Amino acid sequence: MEYRKLGYTDIDVSVITYGSFAIGGTMWAGTEKGEARQAILASIDHGVTTLDTAPFYGLGLSEELIGDTISGMDRSRIQILTKFGMVWDGSNNGRGDFMFDIEQDGKTYPVYKFASKENVIKEAEESLQRLRTDYLDLLQLHWFDSTTPVDETMEALQRLIDQGKIRAAGVSNYDKGQMLEAQQTIRLASNQVPYSMLKRGIEAEVIPTAVENGIGIIAYSPLERGLLTGKFFNGNALKSTDHRNGYFAQFDLQRVQTFLEEIEPVAFDKGVTLSQLVLKWTTLQPGISVVLAGARNKEQAVSNARAIDIQLSTEELAYINEQLDVLV
């Protein structure tokens, strides 16, 4: 595994980081807890020391699974990244930006983006309990909340840093202007944003701004939630409650399939999978600090971790980029 400093901080993170959205089950047609725990353990066994989660993932379940799994381990060897600001429990009393309704276990929950000072502190304490730890390596605002002054949110995060409850503060899904505004109140360690072969918009402004200001970029959905593994095109059906049935509709699937067929020989020649090739490519892109890779079982976790070992020549990278130019 390779490790990098996260932004300006002294926090060493594994370049391939475990992403735990799917094991929460929410929007993913459920989860198998035993397999999820094995995936977390296998990731750690193969050098993935950094685990990214959020309260929203499974409405607390993802954090609980991580907390239970790593309980008793040397905490100093593991970096826990979590988030706040997606509220579903009604504690916001209707305040914040409404996002959507989510259904889980037969109940419907209205989800809001909400980042008031009180909510930052409340969610941080809840995450500490679910994760069974006394500090978080990184606490990130999940989504921008237009109803709360940015400085109020950032001042609450600074208070948590001063109290030793978090080592660093970050944001997620922030654009250039939002990052710069937050920087006026606190020094951001990172911005977690969507980035993949199919979504490279952050290359224009977000990445250059982050690099200039010592902000790390945590890339999420590098495999586009499984689309770039190629499995979807090989008869792997999705359950009716899986959100990817709608998510994949944003892409020209025929063109994506053609692209994967063009780069598959590169993976074949190296004895690796498409998903490993895609992950490795993502880790090599300028300005990217961390690449999140989700895994719902041990096999996927090991595969993701081993992607970092792939060696790509200048010619191979150029070929992949040429095919991408045709795709977009």
Q: Would you place residue 64 in the very low, low, confident or very high pLDDT band (cuts 50, 70, 90)?
A: very high
Within a 10 A sphere around the Cβ of 116, how many other Cβ atoms?
20
Residue 252, SS3? coil
The Cα–Cα gap between 275 and 307 comes to: 8
- Tell me the C-alpha distance between 295 and 229, whole Å: 12
User: Within a 10 A sphere around the Cβ of 294, how many other Cβ atoms?
Assistant: 23
Q: What is the pLDDT of residues 288-323, one digit of tens each?
A: 999 999 888 999 999 999 999 999 999 999 999 999
For residue 162, give every residue at least 6 positions away whose Cβ sits within 8 Å of its Cβ, in sequence order, or none.
none
The span from the CA of 90 to the CA of 24, in Å, is 20
Beta-carbon contacts of 136 under 8 Å, excluding residues fewer than 6 positions away, are 80, 81, 82, 124, 127, 128, 165, 166, 167
- The predicted structure's pLDDT at residue 22: 81
Q: What are phi and psi of 117, to 5 degrees?
A: -55, -45
- Average pLDDT over all residues of the chain: 92
- List the structure tokens of 130: 């679910």
What percentage of residues in the chain have a pLDDT greater than 90?
A: 78
pLDDT in tens, 137-153: 999 999 999 999 999 99
- Report whether pLDDT(113) > 80: yes
pLDDT at 25: 63
The answer as to CATH 3.20.20.70 being correct for domain 3-327 is no
Assess contact for 190 and 140: CB atoms under 8 A. Answer: yes
Sorted by where each begins, the domain ranges of the chain are: 3-327
pLDDT of 205 over the 90 cut? yes
pLDDT over 70 percentage in the chain: 95
Beta bridge partners of 190: 170, 216
Residue 111 and residue 2: Cα distance in Å, rounded? 36
* Mean pLDDT of the 159-177 span: 98
Round to the nearest angstrom and report the end-to-end CA distance of the chain. Answer: 31
- What pLDDT is attached to residue 148? 97
Order across the sheet with 86-87: list the strands.
86-87, 107-113, 97-104
What does the pLDDT average to over 72-97? 95
Calculate the alpha carbon distances from 190 to 64, 102, 140 in Å. Answer: 24, 28, 8
Full-model pTM? 0.93
Q: 91 burial class (0-12, 13-18, 19+ CB within 10 angstroms)?
A: middle
> How far does CA 119 lie from the centroid of its chain?
22
Residue 25 DSSP symbol: -
Q: Is 102 exposed, middle or buried (0-12, 13-18, 19+ CB in 10 A)?
A: middle
Interval 206-255: pLDDT, tens: 999 999 999 999 999 999 887 888 877 766 666 666 777 677 777 788 88
Q: How many Cβ atoms from other residues are within 10 Å of residue 36's Cβ?
A: 27
* pLDDT higher than threshold 80 for residue 172: yes
pLDDT score, position 31: 73
| Residue 29 scores a pLDDT above 90 | no
CA 1 – CA 75 distance, rounded (Å): 19
CA angle (30, 52, 27) in 5-degree steps = 25
